[in-house]
Structure 1
Amino acid sequence: MLLPAPYDTWFPDAAFDGTYRFDESALRRVAPVAAPPGLADAWRRWRAQARRVDAAPRTLSSEAIDGRTVSIVEHAGVDGIRLRSWVVGPASGPARVGIVHSHGYGGRDAIDLDRLPDDAAAIFPVARGLPTLNTAVGAPEPVEEHVLAGLDDPAAYVLGLCARDLWLAADALLTLTGDVPLYYVGESFGGGIGALALPWDDRYIGATFIVPSFGQYDERLAVPCLGSGEVVREHVAAHPEARERLRLFDASSTLGFTEVPVRVEAALWDQYVPPPGQFGIANAARDLELAVLPAGHAEYPGWDAVTADAVRGGRAHLARALRSASPPAGRR
């Protein structure tokens, strides 16, 4: 097939066009999906329920990595299951900020310190059901089963549970490190569930979402992809009533409820998370810093330099959010 430049030379064997025939101008005009009645009430109710759960973190092991203490910690999820995460201490001195740093749909098998300043503590939660720390805990592991688990019941839908678990991960981090402002970092899956969770948690001063998923289902369900969205698209095609159940879990609908500064790193080409979904999330933000990437979920000429620049931009966004934040008030 005929691909647009430069993707025709970057990805000559691509089965389909990862721009989905959107240029940057068109992507910047993708509207978020309007929040349905009851969305805010549902998420605020779930947030209130999560406040009543004791994260009860327990350190299982610790080691030193690159001058930081890195621990594996067990803590509660929103429904009382026990999940495991990595917790990382600051490189020196007391923590000035806490970072909740989520992952893509493949799970996580190691920490990534690139976006952590020296004075940050961080928790690297692993979503329920996903490798390596929480394989099959609280949800099935295979993506084709995981992304649909519990969809018939909004209170039990796995993406909602994963987002709500982030509140308990933050509780665990603050219990272990003390009362510091929070900043969120999430990529792909982690970007999408972060945009679901962030608006209802007033401890955050900002966030970076990298090629975020689960946004703008009107666009996502209209096109094929290579990621979890294809499983959902096929399911909704066979069960049209499921479209309504997804409305509470559209990251482009929820993000508009947050007032903190948000950085979105969104891609012009992405066969795994269609760019209209990514930009639909970005366009929902009230206080947006947008970084446009040439492609997502793929390497290409210059990828290393683009990634390094994005990391620098994310660190700078965190630093600005921290400078402008008021002192933490011990809120939960």
Structure 2
Amino acid sequence: MEQLLRIAPPPQPWDFESFWRSRYERAMQLEPQPRLTPGNGSHPDYDCYDLAYRSTGDFEIGGWALIPKRGPVTRGVVVGHGYGGRDGPDYHLPIAGAAFLFPCFRGLSRSRRWPISDNPHYHVLHNIHKKDRYILGGCVEDLWLAVSALLRLFPAVAGHVAYLGISFGGGIGALALPWDLRIRRAHFNVPTFGHHPLRLQLPSTGSAAAVQVYQREHGHILDILSYYDAAVAAQYIRIPVHVAAALADPAVAPPGQFSIYNGLPGEKRLFVLDKGHLDYPRRVEQENALLAELHHFFSEL
């Protein structure tokens, strides 16, 4: 733990902040045109809807929305998914009075579109050689436009918007949050894309392994990845953030996860998991403890 808590974010490009601020400003000029249609899900506490909205590049984003059956909607939450995508909404998130949007980031699950592969090994490489067109930038824009869609659908939640993201969704959230002041609290669970210099070296499976192979074959990829480093971006986040980071993780090396937490300059809270992306004896116990912490953390939203 002492070593993990000392891992600082890597150096950043001189124009890192202007690169992202200009992208955000362009994205905010778009009207997401959100649409909800009755879905097939059934739950005693929520009405489930199919979600669609427009993102940058005229990309149609699909997903789900949950609206409480009882009481007014007082908070809004956007929930990001892991690199496996998602096949439905999560009903167990402990935020009372919240309407939830579960967008699928471009190329994945309900937002599949040729020629983007939904296989994480290939998705993570899509346009990786083009700084302004790398797929991760588009996914960040999908998150910003999800917040716009949320506020179009539920204007009353302005000032009470949160983001939760796991793994892939955690890394995308760290890249997105510094520039979008509409989001007031966030949780990242085993977030990826932290500290790319280490991510390219440490043993990993999944998308990180694919990027390592690309680096060995082509080289110079850090010139691009430095703009998409979640640990660098974390240094610009000013809202309270709760992070669940794992001590062992085959897919997202723990030093990368902790570098994101360490980079956060403001109010932050850490929940340490024994393992990430794996089953383990205390998994259910730790998941329940984490949900209890998140209930308290988001009660202040």
Query: Which of residues 248, 268, 272 in structure 1 aligns to 2:251?
Result: 272
1:145 to partner: Cα distance: 1.4
Confirm whether residue 253 of structure 1 aligns to residue 232 of structure 2.
Answer: yes
1:253 to partner: Cα distance: 0.4
Query: Which of residues 305, 310, 315 in structure 1 aligns to 2:290?
Result: 310
Confirm whether residue 37 of structure 1 aligns to residue 14 of structure 2.
Answer: yes
1:135 is matched with which residue? 112
1:111 to partner: Cα distance: 1.0
Residue 279 of structure 1: SS of its match in structure 2? Answer: helix
1:188 is matched with which residue? 167
Confirm whether residue 80 of structure 1 aligns to residue 54 of structure 2.
Answer: no
Distance 1:171 1:84 in 2: 14
Distance 2:12 2:73 in 1: 36
Query: Which of residues 261, 278, 283 in structure 2 aligns to 1:298?
Result: 278
Question: Which amino acid letter does the alignment assign opposite residue 13 of structure 2?
Answer: P
1:91 to partner: Cα distance: 4.1
Kindly indicate whether the alpha-carbon contact (under 8 Å) linking 2:95 and 2:298 is maintained by their aligned counterparts in 1.
Answer: no
Of 31-40 and 183-192, deviating more is 31-40
Distance 2:274 2:255 in 1: 14
Question: Which amino acid letter does the alignment assign opposite residue 172 of structure 2?
Answer: I
Residue 39 of structure 2: SS of its match in structure 1? Answer: strand
Once the two structures are superposed, residues 119-170 of structure 1 have per-residue CA deviations (whole angstroms, 9 ceiling, x without a partner) of 0111001111112x12236722122211010112222110111011101111
Residue 83 of structure 1: SS of its match in structure 2? Answer: strand
1:118 is matched with which residue? 96
Distance 2:102 2:255 in 1: 28
Confirm whether residue 168 of structure 1 aligns to residue 168 of structure 2.
Answer: no
Once the two structures are superposed, residues 29-71 of structure 1 have per-residue CA deviations (whole angstroms, 9 ceiling, x without a partner) of 1111232211110100000001111100122333542321111
Distance verdict in 2 for CA 1:281–1:138, change over 3 Å? farther
Residue 272 of structure 1: SS of its match in structure 2? Answer: coil
Structure 2: runs of 5+ lacking an equivalent: none
Structure 1: runs of 5+ lacking an equivalent: 1-23, 323-332
2:85 is matched with which residue? 107
Residue 48 of structure 1: SS of its match in structure 2? Answer: helix
2:156 is matched with which residue? 179
Distance 2:70 2:193 in 1: 37
Confirm whether residue 50 of structure 1 aligns to residue 30 of structure 2.
Answer: no
Distance 2:277 2:176 in 1: 23
2:75 is matched with which residue? 97
Once the two structures are superposed, residues 262-314 of structure 1 have per-residue CA deviations (whole angstroms, 9 ceiling, x without a partner) of 11100000011000000010101122101111111111112111011011112
1:209 to partner: Cα distance: 0.1
Distance verdict in 2 for CA 1:154–1:311, change over 3 Å? same
2:187 is matched with which residue? 208
Query: Percent same amino acid among aligned pairs?
Result: 35
Once the two structures are superposed, residues 227-278 of structure 1 have per-residue CA deviations (whole angstroms, 9 ceiling, x without a partner) of 2101011111222211110011000001110100011100000011000000
Superposed structure 1 runs of 4+ greater than 4 Å apart? none
1:116 to partner: Cα distance: 3.8
1:94 to partner: Cα distance: 1.7
Once the two structures are superposed, residues 206-243 of structure 1 have per-residue CA deviations (whole angstroms, 9 ceiling, x without a partner) of 10000000001111111221121010111112222111
Q: Give the superposed CA RMSD.
A: 1.3
